[in-house]
Amino acid sequence: MEKKQEFATQSRVVDSDVVILGAGASGIAAAISAARAGLRTTLVDAGPMPGGELISGMAVDGALNGRGEWILGGVGRDVFAECQRLGGYVGPLNDHRLIWYVCLDPEVMKLAVAGTLAKAGVKLLLHTVATHIDVEDGRVGALHVLNKEGRSELRAPLFIDCSGDADIVAAAGGKVLKGGPGGELQPVSLMFRMSGVETAPLLEFMREHPEHFALGESEAIRQGRTDRQLAEAAMKQGQPSVFLKGNGPLVSAAIARGELYPTALIMIQPTAPQRGEVCLNTTRMGGIDGTRTAELSASLATLTDQVWQCSEFMRNNVPGFARAAFSGIASRVGVRETLRIDGEKSLTEEDVLEARKRDDGIAKGSHHVDIHQSGTGQIRIPVKDGGSYDIPWGCLLPKGVVNVAAAGRILSADRGAHGSARVMGPCLAMGQAVGTASAMLLRSGGARPAFAALDVQALRTQLKKDGAVLDGTH
């Protein structure tokens, strides 16, 4: 008779104070803050490397507002500082389109993230897939995981869902929402990098031909300046930080000739000036559901074709790229949107666009409402006066689930607000908030802790002590 034989038969129970699922931007910030506060912290990820999109080459949005003021402090800034200490580029730049962002060297960032987690004392479980939970009356008792060694049951009084897909919340019976009203999702993309880029000819090209570039889409950035004046200001920054627009003459002609796939933008952002390296954020494929593994895996072939098409296009058409070489892709296809939680509070598009401040805010965002669509479409609506908005604590508390908090792109928000708060600045800040909240809850005692019972003003006070930016008119 045929016998079923598992590769590994280990089955063990591991106790922690808090278990965090997902080692992207929100999960690493949650883990660092919880471990620094003394919690036995376990951080689980299916992938081989912590950091998520922080180590993909893309710039961090929502760390400064549209006026260039920092709205991210605390753990997120500590990780940036560690990257810089190790010699990695960390460049807050004005993109002269809508916003400010922070460009980073993704290779040094890998070292900075891993080192900061280790120094904080986080127990990292990579190559490990979470499969199911034990749950009773909205209280999760254990997260079950599977890896090469076999199965483990990770027990803890508190859990944090930073999975990007709300896996724990959904399994615990919390309501989740998917994409737009018809279930539509933003396209997936693959980031790639080119090195040996010459900055001066690229910037000169932008100054002479601003019609090809996205410039001054928000008044807070434009401040009455012409495209030519904006291009000159961008030149003075001295970095290859420019955006070729999909409906500009250069890119649209290439799309019409079939030399390029339809795209809204070719975003060019520096990652390592010493290598003349930039990251290009431009490829896209619509109609992919990032929670369907076969679909997501199959998108890789289309996206790598687009990477190659675009790097050829850049070499042949864009000054500064003639001698540039393809230098790498992100380690995973980037998924912008899948599920988000239905929380005790929900961030609205109006909160974002009006730069609304809240007395229960535990993180800030400033990115425009940014909803990529298939092909050349992209919705971009800036925040009023280049300011920032507050994310209420209740946006991280899934309704009906007691001892699980959420952070990152699964926050409770309407689709427009999600288009803004999903970026990495707010993800890092939300992560710090849930990690800190876990430590405060466990310190205050009680056998059955509940995130909703925490005094939000006490949480805000602690977060500010730990460097978070929560007050002010930013």
Task: Using CB under 6 A, pick the residue from 55, 231, 371, 424 that binds ligand FAD.
Answer: 424
CB of 22 vs ligand FAD, minimal distance in Å: 3
Q: Examine residue 408 and tell whether it contacts ligand FAD (CB under 6 A).
A: yes
Residue 257 CB contacts under 8 Å (≥ 6 apart), including other chains? none
In terms of Cα–Cα distance, which of 54, 31, 27 is closest to 121? 31
CB of 21 vs ligand FAD, minimal distance in Å: 6
Q: Examine residue 129 and tell whether it contacts ligand FAD (CB under 6 A).
A: yes
Q: Give helix 227-237 / helix 199-208 axis angle, nearest 10°.
A: 170
- Interface residues for ligand FAD in 141-180 (CB under 6 A)? 162-165, 167
Q: What is the dihedral of CA 445, 449, 451, 455, to 10 degrees?
A: -30
Tell me if residue 397 falls in helix, strand or coil: coil
How many beta carbons lie within 10 A of that of residue 294, not counting itself?
6
Task: Using CB under 6 A, pick the residue from 97, 409, 415, 460 that binds ligand FAD.
Answer: 409
- Judged on CB neighbours under 10 Å (0-12, 13-18, 19+), 251 is buried
Following DSSP, what letter does each residue of 62-80 receive, concatenated? SSB-TTS-B---HHHHHHH
Task: Using CB under 6 A, pick the residue from 356, 418, 422, 474 that binds ligand FAD.
Answer: 422
Q: Examine residue 55 and tell whether it contacts ligand FAD (CB under 6 A).
A: no
CB of 143 vs ligand FAD, minimal distance in Å: 9
Choose the binding region for ligand FAD from 1-9, 150-158, 203-211, 420-428 (rule: CB under 6 A): 420-428
Q: Radius of gyration of the chain from Cα atoms?
A: 22
- Nearest-angstrom CA–CA distance, 209 and 358: 43
Choose the binding region for ligand FAD from 109-117, 238-246, 315-323, 333-341 (rule: CB under 6 A): 333-341
Q: Examine residue 53 and tell whether it contacts ligand FAD (CB under 6 A).
A: yes
Amino acid 81 reads A
> Residue 163 or 241: which CB sits closer to ligand FAD?
163
- Nearest-angstrom CA–CA distance, 189 and 374: 11
- Nearest-angstrom CA–CA distance, 64 and 73: 10
Structure tokens given for 247: 């409906």
How many beta carbons lie within 10 A of that of residue 407, not counting itself?
33
CB of 110 vs ligand FAD, minimal distance in Å: 13
Task: Using CB under 6 A, pick the residue from 74, 106, 248, 334 that binds ligand FAD.
Answer: 334
Q: Examine residue 96 and tell whether it contacts ligand FAD (CB under 6 A).
A: no
CB of 334 vs ligand FAD, minimal distance in Å: 3
How many Cα neighbours within 13 Å face the side chain of 152? 19
| Cα angle 402, 155, 161; round to 5 | 50
Task: Using CB under 6 A, pick the residue from 25, 79, 197, 417 that binds ligand FAD.
Answer: 25
CB of 421 vs ligand FAD, minimal distance in Å: 9
- Nearest-angstrom CA–CA distance, 304 and 367: 28
Q: Please give the size of the binding site for ligand FAD, defined by CB under 6 A.
A: 36
- Nearest-angstrom CA–CA distance, 134 and 132: 7
Q: Examine residue 76 and tell whether it contacts ligand FAD (CB under 6 A).
A: no
Choose the binding region for ligand FAD from 58-66, 197-205, 220-228, 246-254 (rule: CB under 6 A): 58-66
CB of 423 vs ligand FAD, minimal distance in Å: 3
Task: Using CB under 6 A, pick the residue from 32, 33, 39, 61 that binds ligand FAD.
Answer: 61
Task: Using CB under 6 A, pick the residue from 17, 19, 32, 45 that binds ligand FAD.
Answer: 45
Q: Sketch the per residue contact string, 247 through 286, with ligand FAD: x for CB under 6 A, - otherwise.
A: ----------------------------------x-----
Measured on CA atoms in the order 205, 191, 112, 66, is the torsion positive or negative?
Answer: positive
Q: Examine residue 107 and tell whether it contacts ligand FAD (CB under 6 A).
A: no
Task: Using CB under 6 A, pick the residue from 24, 73, 365, 398 that binds ligand FAD.
Answer: 24
Q: Return residues touching ligand FAD (CB under 6 A).
A: 21-27, 44-47, 52-53, 58-62, 129-130, 162-165, 167, 189, 281, 334-336, 408-409, 422-424, 427
